[in-house]
Amino acid sequence: MTGYLIKKAAALAAVLFLVSLTVFSVLFVLPGDPAQIILGINASPETLAALRSRLGLDQPFLVQYGQWIGSLLQGTGGRSITYDMPVADLIGSRLAVTGPLAIMAMAIAVVLALPLGIFAARHQNRPGDAAVMAGTQLGLAIPEFWLGILLMLLFSVHWGFFSAGGFPGWDEDLWGSLKALFLPALALGLIRAAILTRLTRSSMLDVLREDYVRTARAKGLKERTVVYGHALKNALIPVLTIFGLQMGQLLAGAIIIENVFTLPGLGRLVFQAIGQRDLPVVREVVLFMAAAVVIVNFLVDLSYAVVDPRIRLDG
């Protein structure tokens, strides 16, 4: 187990190093002088030069990269140019929106997908199965932003149950913040539920054909025990893999839904920062997103072992 952890940590470090080098190089060669974009195009050449030297943009590539990595290793990191605050604090405050949003969305997805998928598998080729499959087909076909706007028009504009976007802040209004995340989480969750339902169904169907399930049935176990006690755990492995990928994606920011609902999440942060050439923010958020994806996948790997004791995590 220790060997496994060391190996994973080394892999994480390698990924972060490569991502840092890539994102830094890409931003370095990106056309458009950041100082000019920040100050506007009628800014005087003297002020532009002063800003360039203040941001260190007049330094060679390796010096700039070295300074950045140095500041990261010291734990300080960069400072946002447009927001005038440490990027780490900015990521923290955005994660307080994106994190709960991702968790809520995946919770909705799982709560819907598991029962529906199992139900469909057990009623294969019967009307119930057809209805679930038709529903998931719809879920896969609908674009996220459109579902978001539809939910907003219905629940906020028409019925007035929720506010139409925005985020009051956790310390200010806990209930209001939860409500603010509900519709976007629903939009994200419904679409992910469609994928997970189909996956659960097909995985369940595979497992239900296994010998040990036939044995369990032959022993005279109740159908409930067969499905939930024996089949489900084994059917979950592929579902967990996709779940992990989706969770990682959501933590990396649901840019489109965040834009529709004007949520101050990570996705909108990085999107806006690219347009404004707020380079410290872009670099560190991308690095953070890469780390989040790697770590979530690591947790998924760990959970395989919990679900299926035959899988052993060793070096």
CB of residue 257 to another protein, shortest distance in Å: 11
Q: Is 50 in the site for another protein (CB under 8 A)?
A: yes
By beta-carbon proximity to another protein, the closer residue of 41 and 141 is: 41
Q: By CB under 8 A, how many residues form the interface with another protein?
A: 53
Residues from 276 through 305 that contact another protein (CB under 8 A): 276-278
Minimum distance between the CB of residue 194 and another protein, rounded to whole angstroms? 23
- Does 167 interact with another protein (rule: CB under 8 A)? yes
Buried b (16+ CB within 10 A) or exposed e, 206-222: ebbeeeebeebeeeeee
Binder of another protein out of 156, 249, 297, 303 (CB under 8 A): 156
Q: SS3 helix, strand, coil % of the chain, rounded to 5?
A: 75, 0, 25
**Which token pair is 15?**
């990924």
Among 238, 264, 295, 308, binds another protein (CB under 8 A): 264
* Rounded Cα distance, 154 and 162, in Å: 10
Residue placing its CB nearer to another protein in the complex, 38 or 207: 38
> Looking at beta carbons only, is 95 or 112 nearer to another protein?
95
Reported as type and span, the H/E element at residue 199 is: helix 174-208
Secondary structure (H, E, C), 120-188: HHHCCCCHHHHHHHHHHHHHHHCCHHHHHHHHHHHHHHHCCCCCCCCCCCCCCCHHHHHHHHHHHHHHH
Contact between 80 and 278 under an 8 Å Cβ cutoff? The reply is yes
DSSP sequence for 66-90: HHHHHHHHTT---B-TTT-SBHHHH
Give the contact letters, 52-81, x = binds to another protein (CB under 8 A), - = no. Answer: --x--------------------------x
For the four alpha carbons of 172, 176, 179 and 180, in that order, the dihedral sign comes to negative
Using DSSP, state whether 313 is helix, strand or coil: coil
Interface residue with another protein, options 4, 65, 83, 170 (CB under 8 A): 83
> Minimum CB separation from another protein for residue 77, in Å?
16
Part in contact with another protein (CB under 8 A); list of ranges 18-26, 188-196, 258-266, 297-305? 258-266
Site string for another protein, 26-45 (x = CB under 8 A): ----xxxx--xxxxxxxxx-
150 scored as a contact of another protein (CB under 8 A) = no
Options 120, 235, 260, 292; binder of another protein; rule CB under 8 A: 260
Query: 238-268 burial by CB neighbour count: b if 16+ within 10 A, else e?
Result: ebbbbbbebbbbbbbbbbbbbbbbebbbbbb
Residue 1 binds another protein (CB under 8 A): no
Q: Is 84 in the site for another protein (CB under 8 A)?
A: yes
Q: Tokens standing for 57?
A: 């943009």
The site for another protein (CB under 8 A) is made up of 30-33, 36-44, 46-47, 49-51, 54, 81-85, 90, 93-94, 149, 152-153, 156-157, 160, 163-167, 169, 259-265, 268-269, 272, 275-278
